[in-house]
Amino acid sequence: MIVGAAQMGPVECHHTAEEVAARMTCLLEQAAQRGVELLVFPELASVPFFPHWVIGDREELLSYYDLDTPFARVRSFFDRAAELDIAVVMGYAEQTTEGRLFNSSVLADGSGKVALKYRKIHLPGFGEPQSAEHQLLEKRYFEVGDLGFPVAGWKNTRVGLAICNDRRWAETYRVMALQRAEIVCLGYNTPITTPHLPEINTLTEFHNHLSMQAGAYQNSLWVIGVGKAGLEEGVEQIGGSAIIAPSGEIVAQATSRGDELITADIDLDMVKRYRQDVFNFAHHRRPEAYQTISAPVDPHWSDDVQRVGRTLATEPSNA
């Protein structure tokens, strides 16, 4: 199966929906020429990553959201994908009919129908503005996803969806692998700098690939990770979109900070081989020993971490 990652450059406030749809369609047409069957776009693909700044006006905030699905905002793009019989994964800001707000992603199959929807679970950042060069306000603008990590059958495989910060959590991949997912499609918007943790700024791109490669290898599945890149509304975001094999190897990677298509002809049987010989869950997992993973976290856990850190920092060294 040939799959593609459609990395996008900046989408800024002055860009119209028609302009963004045209860019996405250009990547789609390139994918069609290469025989792509599944094409993955970034998180919040068709709008700027608005959690990077404070929005006080409710009407302005809601202008970035789509009602239920992203189809209306970039209708021409989805219509063309259906004409080409290409399945598309795209991230968007979702407003439900009840007025709830989520950071979501959908898989639209080759007919243009929604085959799978996911709402982001691991929301990073803060609920209130911080004193920083840019904000990270996903907890302010989105609710925690309420659909779990669903997996859907598509063609001759099974596909799961994840979004950005989800990639850093081991449970994300494992829950989908236990549902026999063979491909995980993951869009992201990741700034190069982390204002509240500047010591990791030089590691941002390394951590991006590290987390996806580990998830792919430890769960014997393919990961298609796709970012929005470049300087968007004053925030520099990484690229590094990649297609990663069940071996943990990157088989294709973007090299630019703009719109770029990468593709790979992936071997789905590789999933089966690794799950038979390396990560055979039925034979080697010991769920009875993992109960702590699914138990609620002690609300004082972070306080304890801080206390231990301070204690270690003040203890005399034996060196």
Catalytic residues: 43, 120, 164
Torsion, CA 123, CA 124, CA 126, CA 130, rounded to 10: -150
Torsion, CA 50, CA 137, CA 103, CA 32, rounded to 10: 40
What residues form DSSP beta bridges with 221?
A: none
Tokens of 214: 């580990």
CB atoms within 10 A of CB 274: 20
3-state secondary structure of 270: helix
Tokens of 110: 């080759």
CB atoms within 10 A of CB 228: 29
Residue by residue, DSSP assigns 138-200 as HHHH-PPPSS-S-EEEETTEEEEEEEGGGGG-HHHHHHHHTTT--EEEEEE--BS--TT-GGG
DSSP single-letter state for residue 297: P
Checking DSSP bridges between strand 38-40 and strand 2-7, what pairing results, if any? parallel
C-alpha 259: how far from its chain's center?
A: 17
